[in-house]
Structure 1
């Protein structure tokens, strides 16, 4: 039998969702492997190539790509239920994978927030297993203090804390607990454990350690966030960081004025109306435009000479020569634009996107426009304000300088490695 007493813990990274959910965890996995840990990534099967390209061990989690076709995936209230039902087979596969690991080998689950509750089920069957939760965006963490929006609804600063707490309780009681608590309690009962009443209490209370995957200047530590908590930085990762811009796109970029870049997330198959409105808005303003999406059918079939479609290009390579970025507000895309100092028009649909957009606006690095309001006229008006605002120009430059100064990610990974390598509870 192998002697595991001097072996660093095996880090099992568990994530779900789109490439935007995967990339931060790949960055962490690579950093922890550099620190001597064995790292295995459990992610939906569709991400296998990306994980293997990064050089990390991969174990597939079953996922039905048909979920991307469900229009409710991007509904601000019904989307959570779609995601939860879609990830259930993957979470069962995670439990089977962990159960099959050598019992003597120390193991740490580094998990996406949506995998925390199932990680806790794994720990009940494997005492000594530790859980580290990585929170991708500030809105992943419930708080009544720093709350610019609650879903799509703005929360005024004067609103009393007790009213904010009541609002959170209503969201959980009506949109979250009915979806997940019965299922989790059935699993807990099978383990001989007491039921839970609140999914969010379980998600925040179960980890041995929580880590924010964004800097404190973007989302400051709040008194009602879980403890112990490490505040890190954006773990930016690009699978094609050194890829060059396609010649035709490069030629287009340099053939006229700086274009507007438009994208709406790798998992969004319902952006056709948005892209059509964006093209019409750009034409109204006399601006050139580039569409970035792997789904060509969503882009208008006939594009004028002032418009260009590309299936993929690293945003980091493209943004320095762009006038602005119009996007959905995913945390990865948001962070890349902040680093580039590019003005952003965030058009959120669901999940953390509303909060991310509000924070971009608060930094004077961009504007927001709800997706259901994104018509030709409103997009044109918002882009005009964005491109002409001296305040946003200054705000973008300030954020770019802040990000150029480096962050706390490497130091936090050192702390994570040292902490999870100790014996006993974190």
Structure 2
């Protein structure tokens, strides 16, 4: 570590969303602090305990938990608008925090993709700020080349690039730009700046550096991704790496055959029907099951002796003793299952989950089930779980991705690249 961290820029890490969005940035923040940087994490106030437990400086951003009850939050098309509107108060807090920093202090914003445009607004008021964007999943990056799905819709390999561009433009024009661009341009007008017409163009062009927080064997670098770009690895982070499995859960795990682990994300308050179907599917297959969610009301009220509910347990501790992981397709959950070599059944609902599910299936590390009410029924879940658990190909694929992760990736290279980029004289 440098003996003179005062000459290094203050790195302000800005993220939004659930714990799955927070953890990768905490891993990067800790790596940057180890290289001598002063680091402050700005995140929704509900994450304060997690950030402070890491030992990093924390500044809260307001977050309205009511957003979790919005029926459109997990809608494939309308969910983006819900998330964007929920971010407003937090982004205002980021502007205020940056404006209050000492004027002579070098500053870099390491941001979640959804915060890039707001980081650029901060830079207009404080020239000299550098911006680094961290892309958590392949579908965060627009491309017409490696495009297996666009939202829930499959994209055939034979589809011409021109048609793929047209499809992307349609998504932007109908679902993204109307939500973001008027608000963004209103702020730019107050700064005396020209308007933008595309939010994703702004997200690509504003950063001084972009980094991918997933390995190239999951999604290779594409010619239409932003530049400069450094490709990395999964920044897996466990807030309690030495925590033991809760005694009651450990006893349940030992009491019979390896159970199914079922989770649908820490921020999902709309999973009750899915959990009920999962329980019925497990009973049909004669399988034991563990529900992992902080929201007890989402889990069936009466559980049989073959089922168990736990509010939290590190997946790294739990998955080695599991038969399979059933989840929503969040990139962090997906990566933990890969690290453990655990078969995955992904039931995607929105955002990057469809693309993540496709890639897991393509690696033969799991299967995918559409999250419609009919397809996610107990019968459908039971059928596909039986396929998953009995497939030799899936078990071979899981072992292969586990070995790839164990071999190590280039996360240190990402942290080094960020440190170099944000230094006073460093350049890529």
TM-score w.r.t. length of structure 2: 0.97
Alignment of 1:67-82 (within 5 A): 67-82=67-82
Is the 8 Å Cα contact of residues 63 and 89 (structure 1) preserved in structure 2? Answer: yes
Is the 8 Å Cα contact of residues 284 and 382 (structure 2) preserved in structure 1? Answer: yes
Is the 8 Å Cα contact of residues 213 and 231 (structure 2) preserved in structure 1? Answer: yes
Aligned-pair CA distance for 1:5:
11
Partners of 2:58 and 2:90 in 1: CA distance: 14
Partners of 1:297 and 1:411 in 2: CA distance: 43
Aligned residue for 1:313, secondary structure, equals: coil
Name the counterpart of 1:126: 126
Partners of 1:413 and 1:16 in 2: CA distance: 20
Aligned-pair CA distance for 1:295:
0.8
Name the counterpart of 2:378: 376
Change over 3 Å in CA distance of 1:424–1:287 after alignment to 2: closer
Name the counterpart of 1:392: 394
Change over 3 Å in CA distance of 1:276–1:91 after alignment to 2: same
Partners of 2:63 and 2:258 in 1: CA distance: 39
Aligned residue for 2:7, secondary structure, equals: coil
- C-alpha distance after superposition, 1:246-292 (max 9, x if no partner): 11111111111111000000000010000000000001111111100
Is the 8 Å Cα contact of residues 23 and 238 (structure 1) preserved in structure 2? Answer: yes
Aligned-pair CA distance for 1:419:
2.3
Partners of 2:427 and 2:401 in 1: CA distance: 38
Name the counterpart of 1:416: 418
Name the counterpart of 2:35: 35
Is the 8 Å Cα contact of residues 290 and 309 (structure 1) preserved in structure 2? Answer: yes
Is the 8 Å Cα contact of residues 276 and 299 (structure 2) preserved in structure 1? Answer: yes
Partners of 1:265 and 1:187 in 2: CA distance: 33
Aligned-pair CA distance for 1:86:
0.3
* Alignment root-mean-square deviation, CA: 1.2
Aligned-pair CA distance for 1:370:
1.4
Is the 8 Å Cα contact of residues 50 and 239 (structure 1) preserved in structure 2? Answer: yes
Is the 8 Å Cα contact of residues 208 and 425 (structure 1) preserved in structure 2? Answer: no
Partners of 1:267 and 1:5 in 2: CA distance: 37
Name the counterpart of 2:265: 265
Aligned residue for 2:238, secondary structure, equals: coil
* Structure 1 portions without partners, runs of 5+: none
Name the counterpart of 2:60: 60
Alignment of 1:170-209 (within 5 A): 170-209=170-209
Partners of 1:299 and 1:126 in 2: CA distance: 48
Aligned-pair CA distance for 1:63:
1.0
Partners of 1:197 and 1:361 in 2: CA distance: 36
Aligned residue for 2:325, secondary structure, equals: strand
Is the 8 Å Cα contact of residues 27 and 236 (structure 1) preserved in structure 2? Answer: yes
Aligned-pair CA distance for 1:411:
2.3
Is the 8 Å Cα contact of residues 142 and 225 (structure 1) preserved in structure 2? Answer: yes
Partners of 1:5 and 1:329 in 2: CA distance: 39
Aligned residue for 1:143, secondary structure, equals: coil
Name the counterpart of 2:405: 403
Count of equivalent residues: 423
Is the 8 Å Cα contact of residues 111 and 134 (structure 2) preserved in structure 1? Answer: yes
Partners of 1:310 and 1:184 in 2: CA distance: 42
Aligned residue for 1:71, secondary structure, equals: coil
Alignment of 1:276-425 (within 5 A): 276-372=276-372, 373-423=375-425
Partners of 2:246 and 2:59 in 1: CA distance: 32
- C-alpha distance after superposition, 1:163-203 (max 9, x if no partner): 11100000000000000100000000110000000000000
Aligned-pair CA distance for 1:219:
1.1
Name the counterpart of 2:14: 14
Partners of 2:45 and 2:261 in 1: CA distance: 29
Aligned-pair CA distance for 1:89:
1.0
Aligned residue for 1:226, secondary structure, equals: coil
Aligned-pair CA distance for 1:316:
0.5
Aligned-pair CA distance for 1:92:
1.1
